[in-house]
């Protein structure tokens, strides 16, 4: 049975430590991690709609269907022009980063490709 999973994932006892590989990955996309908010490991079993939503944001998890994947959610140092926060969800399989999505608070659908950093600044959505 396919599940709907929220993009903000929760796990009690999250250590808050930022792995160096996650920091490097985020910086390679032009983002700066502030704080680890959550971490959750799940077997990927998403609905087609969620796969499509994530793919539209530049993350293809379909090849990982049925596999264990860890999603770590970070608040970013960058903020939206309206003062709201931005999060980055980094996905790993077998301790290897497989991609990420960005999340804009109070936006619909709110997910975006983290590679759109410059476009979000040019559109006056994100502060430099």
The mean pLDDT of the chain is 87
Is residue 24 a part of any domain in this protein? yes
Give me Rg for the CA atoms of the chain. Answer: 14
Backbone angles phi, psi at 9, to 5 degrees: -105, 145
pTM for the model: 0.85
Is residue 8 a part of any domain in this protein? no
What was the pLDDT predicted at 15?
A: 62
Is residue 46 a part of any domain in this protein? yes
Could you report the per-residue pLDDT of 24-72, keeping only the tens digit for each?
A: 999 999 999 999 999 999 999 989 999 999 999 999 999 999 999 999 9
Is residue 3 a part of any domain in this protein? no
What was the pLDDT predicted at 11?
A: 39
Is residue 59 a part of any domain in this protein? yes
Is residue 101 a part of any domain in this protein? yes
Cα 124 from Cα 128, distance rounded (Å): 9
Number of domains in the chain: 1
Q: Which domain holds residue 27?
A: 20-122
Is residue 127 a part of any domain in this protein? no
> Which residue spans within 10-84 are E strands per DSSP?
33-43, 68-79
With cut-offs at 50, 70 and 90, classify the pLDDT of residue 14.
low
């Amino acid at each position: 049975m396919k599940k709907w999973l929220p993009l903000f994932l929760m796990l009690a006892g999250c250590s808050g430590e930022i792995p160096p590989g996650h920091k490097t990955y985020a910086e390679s996309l032009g983002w700066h991690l502030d704080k680890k908010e959550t971490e959750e490991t799940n077997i990927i079993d998403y609905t087609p709609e969620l796969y499509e939503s994530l793919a539209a944001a530049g993350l293809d998890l379909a090849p990982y269907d049925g596999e264990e994947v860890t999603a770590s959610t970070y608040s970013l140092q960058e903020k939206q022009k309206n003062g709201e926060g931005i999060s980055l969800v980094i996905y790993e399989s077998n301790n290897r980063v497989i991609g990420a999505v960005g999340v804009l608070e109070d936006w619909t659908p709110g997910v975006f490709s983290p590679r759109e950093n410059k476009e979000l600044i040019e559109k006056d959505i994100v502060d430099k």
